[in-house]
Structure 1
Amino acid sequence: MPTRRPHPLRVLLVPLLLSAALLGTGCEESPTGRKQIALVPDAQMTALGEQGFAELLRSLPLNDDPDVRAYVGCVAEALVDALPQPHGRWSIAVFDDPTPNAFALPGGKIGVHIGMLQVARTPDQLAAVIAHEIAHVLADHSNERLTQELAVQGGLMLVDLFAEEPGSLKHEVLRGALGIGAEYGLLLPYSRTHEREADRIGRDLMAQAGFNPRASVMLWRNMAAAGGGQPLAFLSTHPTHDTRMNELAEGMDQAVVVYRQARAAGRTPACALP
């Protein structure tokens, strides 16, 4: 049986992608000043976000309680209003799903599961959740993660391309080792970095919007109580609850100053619990 070779266009894409990654190192910074590589065009990320949000709207039931929708919308809109201008229009949906979850997608899409209201029990705590998800978008984390995954796939393609004995045990062991090394040495640590960064950016955003940033620590206390045990931090894409609370507390004094300034300037969101 003839050996299957990669498509010529894919072979060309690999060195171009890896070269672009190397050339782009240090050229971009996240809102916290962290160096990052995000190579996917913004227009494409927006299209992906819109496509994903549309699919969720088709596949998941929406909550039909007008009080719940008004409450979540009030919190989300107060946060969006605090974003740097121009921030564009954001769409907000409340899904009738009991799992405590929320997300934000490129292109200005916010989704909140109704189950999150059982954990985020106050407007300030809900603001901490939504601000955290918005922060992922502000920091271009989806783009960065997609770029990393494309780079990993490019590395695996190179292993296949230059293998002396394609399909041999040696080749498969090398390929598997590269995949595992990429997952635990690159993708998961970056995910933890993203989560920590989103915690910090989200805490500061909620303060700028007039929500009490101290609620971010209380939120994770609630999450810890609701979630029970969780994986070791090394094998998890999320920091432990204790780690998150400690790191959020580190910059809390300055966040409280920003919060008080926002309130004094008239940012006093009045979002009524349903």
Structure 2
Amino acid sequence: MRRKYIFIYVLSCLLMSCGSVPLTGRKQLLLVSDSEVLSSSLTQYNDYIKTARKSTSSSQTAMVKRVGQKIAVATEEYLRQNGMSNEIKNFSWEFNLVADKQVNAFCMPGGKIVVYEGLMELVSSDDELAVVIGHEVAHAVAKHSNERMSQQIAAQYGSQILSAALSEKSTMVKNVAGTVYGIGAQYGVMLPFSRTHELEADYMGLILMTIAGYNPEVAVNFWQKMSAQSEGGVPEFMSTHPSDTHRINEINKILPELKKYKR
């Protein structure tokens, strides 16, 4: 009988810890509160940005900030118009261009976006940069870091999480934060998301950039350029992303749907 009650309790806790991703509606496990995610990620981000070399290119830096701010405004507009205004408080947008030749970009929870100069060599317009920044912002909006942390906590601690009523959750969060964010001398960038997360970020990012007034049709050409770049070795940005063919096929499927988001 006791096991039955424990099972019901565990099931109830899991159900209360489920969330839905904006725009896609996919159910996800979220064991960690927004405040805990933001606190742990901000610590990692601040440690990284203190040592990162900011780009000296004023034009490219301005481009990153310009495109980033427009997508941030569009993101908040979408959340506000779709009954998710309470989510806006979780974002404190920041856009940085870092002097690093890696073909890469990342977004930490809370809207801390970093683009690398190496990636800018493949960007020929604001629209193409919007493909990248829209994708990264989508990771934050979809709470992919929270989901990844929750999955690791569940995998590492199992029934301890619920049997202790998450009383030790703060310790658990600290223990997995470093492996989830991975920013530092060893990695230099965020650890890769799953392919499910990447395809979801592609989809959401294209919608967000369209709402911001950018042309999503450039995404196909941009990813083709990224694919050509990868022939000499896979860029970090694409290391765990879906195959180029799969991604481009999925984007082509999405494009007709995006017409309803155009202004």
Where on the TM-score scale, by shorter chain, does this alignment land: which range?
A: 0.7 to 0.9
Residue matched to 2:67 = 75
1:71-102: CA deviations, max 9, x gaps?
Answer: 11111111111113453531111100011111
Report the Cα distance in structure 1 between the residues aligned to 2:31 and 2:58, rounded to whole angstroms: 40
Conserved 8 A contact 1:62-1:96: yes
1:203 counterpart residue number: 206
Q: Does 1:28 align with 2:19?
A: yes
Specify the alignment match of 1:54 in structure 2: 46
| Pair 1:103–1:29, CA change in 2 (3 A) | same
Q: Structure 2 CA distance, aligned partners of 1:46 and 1:142? A: 10
Corresponding residue number in structure 2 for 1:125:
128
Q: Secondary structure at the match of 2:55?
A: coil
Distance (Å, rounded) in 2 between the aligned partners of 1:230 and 1:20: 47
Match of 1:240 in 2: 243
74-83 vs 45-54, which moves further: 45-54
Per the alignment, in what secondary structure is the counterpart of residue 250 of structure 2?
helix
Q: Distance in 2 between matches of 1:121 and 1:72?
A: 12
Aligned to 1:138: 141
Tell me: CA distance 1:251–1:156, structure 2 relative to 1, closer, same or farther (3 Å).
same
Q: What does 1:208-247 align with in structure 2 at a 5 Å threshold?
A: 208-228=211-231, 237-247=240-250
Is 1:102–1:116's contact at 8 Å kept on the other side of the alignment?
yes
TM-score (normalizing by structure 2): 0.72
Question: Could you tell me whether the CA contact under 8 Å between 1:49 and 1:109 is conserved in 2?
Answer: no
1:209-233 deviation digits (Å, cap 9, x = unpaired): 01000112222111100012779xx
Of the structure 1 ranges 83-92 and 133-142, higher mean CA displacement relative to structure 2 is found in 83-92
- Return the letter of the residue paired with 1:49: S
Q: Which has the larger radius of gyration?
A: 1
Aligned residues: 210
SS of the equivalent of 1:228 reads: helix
Determine if the alignment matches structure 1 residue 194 to structure 2 residue 197. Answer: yes
**Residues of 2 paired with 1:211 and 1:149: CA distance?**
36
Partner residue, 2:188: none
Shift of the alpha carbon at 1:135? 0.2
Q: Which amino acid aligns with 2:64?
A: V
Contact 1:47 1:107 in 2 (8 A): no
Tell me the amino acid that sits aligned with residue 133 of structure 1: E
Aligned equivalent of 1:45: 37
* Distance of 2:64 and 2:160 partners within structure 1: 45
Alpha-carbon contact 1:48-1:106 (below 8 Å) kept: no
1:247 partner SS: helix
Q: CA deviation at 1:155?
A: 4.5
| Separation in 2, partners of 1:137, 1:54 | 17
1:154 aligns with 2:157: yes
Pair 246,51 (structure 1): closer, same or farther in 2 beyond 3 Å: same
User: How far does residue 59 in structure 1 lie from its aligned partner after superposition?
Assistant: 2.2
Q: Against the structure 1 CA distance between its residues 19 and 124, is the aligned structure 2 distance closer, same or farther, given a 3 Å change threshold?
A: same
Q: Which runs of 5+ in 2 are unaligned?
A: 1-6, 162-192
- Provide the C-alpha distance between the structure 2 equivalents of 1:101 and 1:18, rounded to a whole number of angstroms: 40
* CA distance in 2: counterparts of 1:192 and 1:73, whole angstroms: 27
Measure, in 1, the Cα distance between the counterparts of 2:240 and 2:47: 24
- Residue aligned with 2:252, SS: helix
Alpha-carbon deviation of 1:20?
A: 6.8
